[in-house]
Amino acid sequence: MVNQGHLFLGADFGTQGVRVGLADEKGSILEAKEIKYPIHYPKPGQAIQNSADWWRGFEEALGAVLGNITPTQKKAIRAISICATSSTIVPVDQEGTALDDAIMWMDIRAKEQARRINEINHEVLKYCGEAVSPEWLIPKLLWLKENKREIYDKASLIVEQIDLINYKLTDIWAASKVNAVCKWNYIEGIGFDDDYMEKIGLDDYKNKMIVNIVPMGKCVGYLKQELVQRYDLPDIPVIQGGIDAHIGMIGMGVVGPGKMAANMGTSFVQLIFTDQDVPVKGIWGPYKGAMVEGLTLLEAGQISAGSIIKWYQNIFNLNSPEAYKIMQEEVENVPIGADGLRALDFFQGNRTPYKDSYATGVITGLTLNHDRAHFHRAIMEAVSFGFKNIVKNFEDSGVPITKVIGTGGVTHDRTWMQILSDVTGKEFTINENTNYGTILGCTMLSAVGSGVYDSLFEAAENMVHEKETIQPNLENTKKYEKPFEEYLHLYQALKTV
């Protein structure tokens, strides 16, 4: 029986498509629809999308969700909130029309700009882990200024994916504090630093960036009347969301210190709250007050993860409906260590802990004894070693991790999840809505932002429910120690090549 109480809309604009979902007060996903959109790779290290595909996909997904509910349920909808990839940026005119392709989050064309920014060694960098990434908005903004000056000058604003969608929903330009603190060098209690912006070459940033920063969970504005009438919705607030992985953290119920939230899909993002401003080498942050007042966010990540498995499938033509089952059967027959085959998972560079955008993927140790299943196993182990390297980096810096809460497509791969647990020695919990962690996070923000729940803690208690926990096989953890050390050595040996 469908719950007839308060309902909440959420939308997740991911790398490969947009998902819209409707949840009730208990966190049950009542309806959901995903619409895919393409990615294009024009040059090595570059990834682009047509931003018009985002809105078309959203309208189709929203229409499908609302088409499956009753008029009474529509009236029960209290708010909508969205999350999106970051930093996926697009230059727009005064009407919000895109002037060029969107530069995706995984695009690292701004490596040179990021290098120059980091060499300045400005005090601002201590708030983001001592370095910016070429993935972030600021280096990409500088790249546009230097390489597409005509578009840069013509642009009224250069915005993130979430900003453009919120504008289309409300006619208000407002940036998420999550994105601004984590990717834009915005500092809690200070704002943007004019001296820093001038020194890096963006003295005109106030004319190109959104400077209206709205905290996560606060109201951006109300759904514009055109959309209210088209979809026969109430006058609902649009609640500020943020970066997809970060909002997924909320959807996993990680709203306080101790637990690691791991969003495991195309890329991996690992997030932890702490109640102290702990300096941790090799991570992004500390991001004070980025998401929850009084808590500091620490962020790590692996830029290539599930995307490498997709690459493997394409290379070996494993794209048929039954291919994944075949892959699982094959890889289970390959022993720990993949019979000496080693890989580095840096197919688009390393995000953390090395922050090396020049690093590349590696497969080494090949013999005539290896077949395609060894490649599959070596890739899964490499990503798992990268995960362990991040966990070790946190714990060596005094940040304890009691357990990992996982969400995303990889959580459906039982073999890979066990490898991750065995390699790290950590238990991994999967929630009931692991398919919809980001959607649930958005709907939780909608619930809090509309006043149905008083806090994220209350929302988490009512809307997040654990499903199962994967325990590590500690004997296997010991067996992985040597391959893990070889993984670490391989990067050090090849980083100057």
- Pairing outcome for strands 17-24 and 29-36: antiparallel
Count of domains in the chain? Answer: 1
> What is the per-residue pLDDT across 253-283, written as a single tens digit (0 to 9) for each?
999 998 999 989 889 999 999 988 777 888 8
Instruction: Output the pTM of the full model.
Output: 0.87
Peptide bond into 335 cis (omega under 30): no
Show the domain range for 45: 7-244
How big, in percent rounded to 5, are the helix, strand and coil portions of the chain?
40, 20, 35
Closest CA to 304 of 261, 347, 272, 340: 347
Please give the share of the chain, as a percent, with pLDDT higher than 90: 90
Q: At 261, is the secondary structure helix, strand, or coil?
A: strand
- pLDDT at residue number 451: 97
Task: Give a yes or no: residue 43 inside a domain.
Answer: yes
Domain assignment present for residue 103? The answer is yes
399 located within any domain: no
Query: Mind listing the pLDDT tens digit for each residue in 29-40?
Result: 999 999 999 999
In a domain, 336, yes or no: no
Answer yes or no: is 96 within a domain: yes
For 107, the token pair is 């695009």
Residue 320 lies in a domain: no
pLDDT over 60 at 4, yes or no: no
Q: How far is it, in rounded angstroms, from Cα 356 to Cα 218?
A: 35
- From the list 272, 305, 270, 474, the residue with the least C-alpha distance to 390 is 270
Contacts of 363 (CB under 8 A, 6+ apart): 341, 342, 343, 375, 378
Residue 385 lies inside a defined structural domain of this protein: no
What CATH number is attached to the domain comprising 202? Answer: 3.30.420.40
Q: Looking at this protein, which amino acid is placed at residue 479?
A: K
Choose the most confident range, by mean pLDDT, from 135-139, 292-296, 354-358.
Answer: 135-139
Residue 63, in any domain of the structure: yes
Tens digits of residue pLDDT in 431-442: 998 889 999 999
Q: From CA 481, how far away is CA 186, in angstroms rounded?
A: 40
The per-residue pLDDT for range 61-94, each reduced to its tens digit, is: 999 999 999 999 999 999 999 999 999 999 999 9
Contact 265, 383 (CB under 8 A): no
| pLDDT tens profile 172-188 | 999 999 999 999 999 99
Task: Tell whether the model's pLDDT for residue 480 goes beyond 70.
Answer: yes
